[in-house]
Amino acid sequence: MFELSGLVQWIYKIIAGISTSLGLPEIILDVILIALMAGAIIAFLMLMALFLIWWERKVAAHIQDRLGPMMTGWHGWAQTIADALKLLQKEDIVVANADRKVHYWAPVVAFSICFAVYAVIPFGKGLIAADVNIGILYILAITTFTTISLLMAGWGSNNKYALLGGMRSASQIISYEVPLTLSILGVVLMAGTLSMGKFVELQGPYFWKWYIWPQFLGFCIYVVASTAELNRTPFDIPEAEQELVAGFNIEYSGMKFAMFFLAEFLNMFTVGAVTTTLFLGGWNPPFPALAFVPSWAWFLGKSLFIVFVIMWFKWTYPRLRVDHLLGFAWKVLLPLAFLNLILTAVGVTIF
Amino acid sequence: MGYFRSFFSGIYNLLLGLQTTAKYLPERAVTLQYPKEKWPMPERSRGVVVLLSDPETGELNCTACLLCQKACPVAAITITQAKDPAANKRYPKTFEIDNTICCFCGLCEEACNFDAIKLTGKYEFATFDKKSLIYDKEKLQELGRDVKYERKRKAPPKKPVAKTETGAENPAKDNPPKGEEKL
């Protein structure tokens, strides 16, 4: 009833009609459509980032029996907007002897990467910007760029703490990339495809057909490893406050800091969205009878639930030590991921 | 086997932690939204010092006896005495309390015999100007207007009691020896 795909079709028809009546070449129509899609996704994601920051503060507060932001609007809903406006006004400080270009581009890289991922995320029925046939591979490739942005921030800041944070994040993300990819491989083996749209179609509107059940181990490994990829507690050693002050973003101020901050929260939503698509049936309802709820609402609900779980982790667990963290990746997660992969391969061959 | 046992007990303990935080999540917050809500202050809390007035006449109870000024360990109180010849009564011409040095010990309240000075539960008196923390008589009286208090000392009788009775029973009170007066 409230499906957005109809709206998208309608907009497409209007723009296509205008461009054919004007006799524009097809490439201009494509460029306009891509710009529109990118604009819509970026607008949605900015709102989502603002919402997630507010939500994180609320979850943290209520777990600690506090109330969190309460002064700006109903339960402080406008707090993030107020904070963003404050950060916009702040002076942009660049440290002496900093590597200026690297320092300048690091937040831009971090910020743009998290938008690039959403090109292949199916937000709902017919709501996928580009259903490329290697969607999940593209996501894995793009999200690894986060390491480079954090290393850039650490290197360009001319600060030993920032550099340590950047190095730690590089070692951590590269280690956890391995079990993460292996856990996704299980799903890929079962589905026999790499396309994000296909994953959703194959799982269908029956919750017992979703890949979380045969791939429960893979699901757990994916959530844990992606929590580490996000540099969030209990794996937040790149920004361990007690050791590294603030980690890689210590020398950033104003809007550059805000870009890192927003990117972190957007990456969190990315993890939620990818987990939903791979393991939780994407935009499908759990029963065909529940299809009256629009597909994008199912997608949002599932993704936000995964995001909530990651927030819940953050406010429950203490931080791991560096060697424990890497030991956990190589000694526990990697064997489990291999086990999961082998079991899935055997299962796929037999059935 | 130790590897697997520690593995599963680790997972169990992690889930236990998640359960604990989830239990606290829906609970009511224990914090107060401070400027909107405030804790009720205890009756004997030692906040801003005020001067009390007679609830009937609205006049200050203070008789400018300077006991509080002498009791004050940090010399935060400055009083100028004056005498009202019509009522034949002393009153404080000026009464200043310097809140920048007041240590809220409550000795002035203990020294007072006339229920004139009291420490209250009020605590919001931050300002941008340090000089405005020196409260004068009018300000102190204004702060003490809504303070409820129990009179320790009954109002002095209007007419003097017959001298024969008091003089006979307690002569030392009416005519104290001269040596004591100097103390």
Question: How high is the pLDDT of residue B155?
Answer: 59
CB-based contact A312 B27, cutoff 8 Å: no
Model confidence pLDDT, tens digit, residues A306-342: 999 988 888 888 888 888 888 888 888 898 899 999 9
For residues A324 and A334, what is the distance between their CA atoms, to the nearest angstrom?
A: 14
Answer yes or no: is A32 within a domain.
Answer: no
**Which residue did the predictor score with more confidence, A48 or B154?**
A48
pLDDT score for B180: 46
CATH number at residue B108: 3.30.70.3270
Percent of chain A with pLDDT over 90: 4
Does residue A337 form part of some domain?
Answer: yes
What is the pLDDT at residue B159? Answer: 58
Q: Looking at the complex, does the CB of residue B156 fall below 8 Å from at least one CB of chain A?
A: no
**Torsion sign, CA atoms A235, A240, A241, A243:** positive
Decide if pLDDT at B182 tops 80. Answer: no
- Tokens coding A62: 């209520």
| ipTM of the prediction | 0.71
- State how many domains chain B has: 1
Q: Higher model confidence: residue A111 or residue B1?
A: A111
Beta-strand runs (E) in B26-111: 49-51, 77-84, 89-98
Res. A62: pLDDT tops 60: yes
Among A11, A2, A6, A78, which residue's Cα sits nearest to residue A39?
A11
Q: What does the pLDDT average to over A50-76?
A: 87
Q: What's the whole-number mean pLDDT along residues A82-91? A: 86
- Domain range for A177 is 45-63+78-350
Which of B21, B27, B36 to substitute to test the interface with A, most A CBs within 10 Å? B21
Q: Please give the DSSP secondary-structure letter assigned to residue B94.
A: E
A1 part of a folded domain: no
With CB atoms and an 8 Å threshold, state whether A65 touches B30.
Answer: yes
Question: Is there a domain that residue A223 lies in?
Answer: yes
Q: Are A273 and A120 in contact (CB under 8 A)?
A: no
Q: How many CB atoms lie under 10 A from the CB of residue A113?
A: 20
For residue B153, what pLDDT band results from cuts at 50, 70 and 90? low
pLDDT of residue B160: 56
pLDDT in tens, B3-47: 788 888 888 988 998 898 888 888 888 888 888 888 888 888 888
Domain contains A181: yes
Reply yes or no on whether the pLDDT at B156 is more than 70.
Answer: no
pLDDT tens digits along A209-259: 888 888 888 898 999 898 888 888 788 777 777 777 777 788 888 888 888
Residue B22 belongs to a domain: no
Kindly report, residue by residue over A9-58, the tens digit of the pLDDT. 888 888 888 878 887 777 888 888 888 888 888 898 888 888 999 999 98
pLDDT value at B171 more than 50: no
Who has greater pLDDT, A271 or A282? Answer: A271
Measure in Å the smallest separation between the Cα of B48 and chain A Cα atoms. Answer: 28
Site from B16, B31, B32, B37 to mutate, A interface, most A CB atoms within 10 angstroms = B31
Q: What is the 3-state secondary structure (H, E, C) of A229-244?
A: HCCCCCCCHHHCHHHH
Of A51, A90, A89, A56, the residue nearest A73 (C-alpha): A51
pLDDT of residue A151: 87
Q: Which domain holds residue B90?
A: 49-150
Q: Does residue B157 lie within any of the structural domains?
A: no
| Cα A124 to Cα A187, A201, A208, B173, B178, distances in angstroms | 20, 11, 20, 96, 101
Mean pLDDT of chain B: 80
Residue A155 confidence class, pLDDT cut points 50, 70, 90? confident
- What band does B163 get if pLDDT is binned at 50, 70 and 90? low
Q: Do B24 and A316 make contact, defined as CB atoms within 8 angstroms?
A: no
Mean pLDDT across B140-144: 85
Per-residue pLDDT at A229: 84
Distance between CA atoms of A150 and A109, rounded to whole angstroms?
Answer: 9
Instruction: Tell me: pLDDT of B61 over 70.
Output: yes
Does A73 reside within a domain? Answer: no
Kindly list the residues from chain B whose CB atom is less than 8 angstroms away from the CB atom of residue A70.
33
**Is B16 touching A (CB cutoff 8 A)?**
no
pLDDT category of residue B73 using cuts at 50, 70 and 90: very high
Query: Does residue A22 form part of some domain?
Result: no
The tally of domains found in chain A comes to 1
* Inter-chain CB proximity A59 and B25 less than 8 Å: yes
